[in-house]
Amino acid sequence: MKSTRVRVILAVAATGVALTACSPSQVGAAAVVGGDRISSGELDRNVQEYEAALDRADMSAVKQQFPGSVPQVVLYQLATARQYAKVAGSKGVTVTEGEVDQVINSQGGAAQYEQQLLQKAVAPSQVRAYTRASLMITKLMAKYGGGADQEALQRGQQQVIDDLRSVPIEWNPRFGRINPQPSQEQPQIFTAEDRFGKASEPAG
């Protein structure tokens, strides 16, 4: 994604902040975001949709070099998008459908943008929600930083990180343990083996 704003969002996501590796508080949940559950069934539907979209686009999940299995990275994107939307929404930040459309159009239109987000483990049905959440959290950074330029967004990032901690994500332990400090040597989102298999090794 070429948008500066979205790049900043992904940089925040990559830090893995505000994530806790504890058992979800509700049975049958893949994750719980600030008390709202993402059910295992919802995750399964998103994974199936995502894999079908990869097939249609003649893309391979292996070639995407994800820092985890497909269910892990799809879940991570689902949960963090909801976390961003909840946090920014609680601070009065809103995004219009027109603003979402503007991002999509700036990336070459719906089909091309959807294919770009396949590279980030976002299922087609989640494209607008993912984009809306990204815009919302960027607006919050701009609000804290006093502007929409790169320097302002960086100034506002720490306050956003603090806000994210107020809406913790609880992960079902079957996905492994959350990696609190991803690095080049250990880029995986989750560590340890789980029922979906070991997280993918870095491609080098």
Q: Is the pLDDT of residue 87 over 90?
A: yes
How many residues make up the chain in this entry? 204
Pull the structure tokens for residue 169.
């994500």
pLDDT of residue 20: 43
pLDDT at 126: 98
**What's the half-sphere exposure (Cβ side, CA atoms, 13 Å) at 86?**
20
- The pLDDT assigned to 25 comes to 53
Answer for the pair 43, 33: CB distance below 8 angstroms, yes or no. Answer: no
Residue 99 scores a pLDDT above 60: yes
Evaluate if residue 11 carries a pLDDT over 70. no
Encode pLDDT of 29-76 as tens digits. 999 999 899 999 999 999 999 999 999 999 988 888 888 999 999 999
3 state SS of 31: strand
Whole-model pTM: value is 0.81
CA 187/CA 182 separation, integer angstroms: 5
DSSP state of 175: G
> Between 92 and 185, where is the model more confident?
92
49, burial (CB in 10 Å: exposed 0-12, middle 13-18, buried 19+): middle
